[in-house]
Amino acid sequence: MPHPSKTVRIDQTGGPEQLKLVDLTVGEPGPGQVRIRHHAIGLNFIDVYHRTGLYPLPLPTSLGSEGAGVVEAVGEGVTHLKVGDRAAYAGGGPGSYCERRIMPAQPVCRLPDAISFETGAAMMLKGLTAQYLLKRTVPQSGLHAGDFVLFHAAAGGVGLIACQWAKVLGLQLIGTAGSDEKCALAKELGAAHVINYNKEDFLPRVKEITGGKGVKVVYDSVGKDTWDRSLDCLRPFGLLASFGNSSGPPAPFAPGILGVKGSLYVTRQVLFTHIATREANQEMADDLFEVVTSGKVKIRIDQRFALADVRAAHVALEGRKTTGSTVLLPS
């Protein structure tokens, strides 16, 4: 029996005007799949990359990489979920911008009762990203209480979670953001130091804060605009961890420059490698659920848009007008 699902689709890449709300139907899940009805959907910058074609997808396609809702049906072989479960996920392929979908069961986790659907949708991709950055993407000497790290876009969805989690871990997080208001928000939620990159160059400020030594690791989702100076912020053997390109991809560089600048390390991380198995995904999600339910990390949802207003949501996200997390709400 087909089930109706209003779905946001793009037929070609381009600007927000390419996002179209269409009426589709979905059927029953096959082996290893579930059908989930969304109560809330997360908005992330990877959705922009997919829409613009920076990360190409076969067209036409739906967008969206995280959501939360209720499991309506389970396919053969699915044992960790049952009909009626509250659930949340990141991954499983693009397609969360809809009322309901069929998707692989592997990335879907049962959502604790203490966490709302909106919070679940807002935190899975961003929270799991913060988890793998701070816990799994570390310099060769490790990260220890008191160590300095630099986190760009500290007032964004991933950044605000990272500010809080870093404080829990005892790290001295230096956050950059593009306005005094965003800097104040990052500081309020745990950043030890903040830098408004529209008012001052972050490189000399980082050197000043660290007594000229630099930071052990830079977490950079900005890309082109911050890349060169991020390398210069690192101490010897430091790590530049790239996990996004909101300003565009960095220019190619000669690996030899890493030696000249202090035998540095560079890595490009992707969440979906970290959550490729159900066991790893569940382990990371359990860590995230613990810090959220304990109150150590609070998920800020500063913007809510109806699913039908998805174009406005993309305009706000691309225009850097958002703070914290943004969710789309099906009717």
Residue 20 · residue 113 · CB < 8 Å: no
> Coil, strand or helix: which one is 175?
strand
> Coil, strand or helix: which one is 255?
coil
CATH number for the domain spanning 284: value is: 3.90.180.10
Is the pLDDT at 109 greater than 90? The verdict is yes
Query: CA 222, CA 207: separation in Å to the nearest integer?
Result: 20
pLDDT given at position 320 = 84
Query: CA 80, CA 41: separation in Å to the nearest integer?
Result: 22
Domain coverage including residue 160 = 141-268
> Which of the listed residues 247, 268, 289 is the one where a domain comes to its end?
268
| Residues 212 and 238 grouped into a single domain | yes
| Residues 170 and 96 grouped into a single domain | no
Average predicted confidence (pLDDT) for the chain: 96
Mean pLDDT of the 65-84 span: 97
Task: Give the phi and the psi of residue 265 in degrees, each rounded to 5.
Answer: -115, 145
| Residues 188 and 280 grouped into a single domain | no
Residue range 167-188, pLDDT digits in tens: 999 999 999 999 999 999 999 9
Spatial CA neighbour of 298 closest among 206, 188, 137, 139: 188
DSSP letters, 100-166, are EEEEESTTEEEPPTTS-HHHHHHHHHHHHHHHHHHHHS--TT---TT-EEEESSTTBHHHHHHHHHH
**Residue 135 belongs to a domain:** no
Spatial CA neighbour of 115 closest among 48, 183, 69, 182: 69
